[in-house]
Amino acid sequence: MGILQSLEGMAGGSGGNPTASVTNGLMQALEEHPGGLSGILNQFRQNGMSEHVQNWATGQQTQTTPEQIQQGLGNSGFIEKVAGKAGVSPETAKVALAAILPIVVSHFTNGGKQAPPQSGFSGMASQILGRLL
């Protein structure tokens, strides 16, 4: 199953689903974040979450907990940025990111075989949103 189908399945195809909004907010925030997805993964590694990052990259762990998202991102403000762009609370963003982020990491690292991109998410965000909304 591809990333678009996975994210579409999580959103359930229903309008107003926060997962679709958080997916959009994540893609926008990654475009603006220094280092893009690589920068986010480096934050996780620096905050003691290297094993999780490795498991996401290889597809061994398809979800995580909101608490692990908070630990991995620390006080970077990234959760709040995603929430603001998505129009949801930071708590809602953490819950959705716990499901979305491992799928995005697995997809963009090609099963752990390549480094994640540093930018270029806007086109993918448009594709995802077109299928979710």
Residue range 60-81: mean pLDDT, rounded: 92
What average pLDDT is seen over the chain? 78
Residue 9's SS3 state is: helix
CA angle 5, 10, 12 (to 5 degrees): 95
Pair of tokens at residue 43: 């934050």
pTM attached to this predicted model: 0.74
**Which CATH superfamily does the domain covering 3-9+18-132 fall into?**
YidB-like (1.10.10.690)
Q: What is the pLDDT of residues 90-120, one digit of tens each?
A: 999 999 999 999 988 888 776 655 565 555 5
- Whole-angstrom Cα distance, residue 39 to residue 105? 12
- Whole-angstrom Cα distance, residue 122 to residue 62? 23
Residue range 10-39: mean pLDDT, rounded: 78
Domain ranges of the chain: 3-9+18-132
R_g over Cα of the chain: 13
Residue 58: DSSP 8-state: T
Query: Which pLDDT score is estimated for 128?
Result: 45
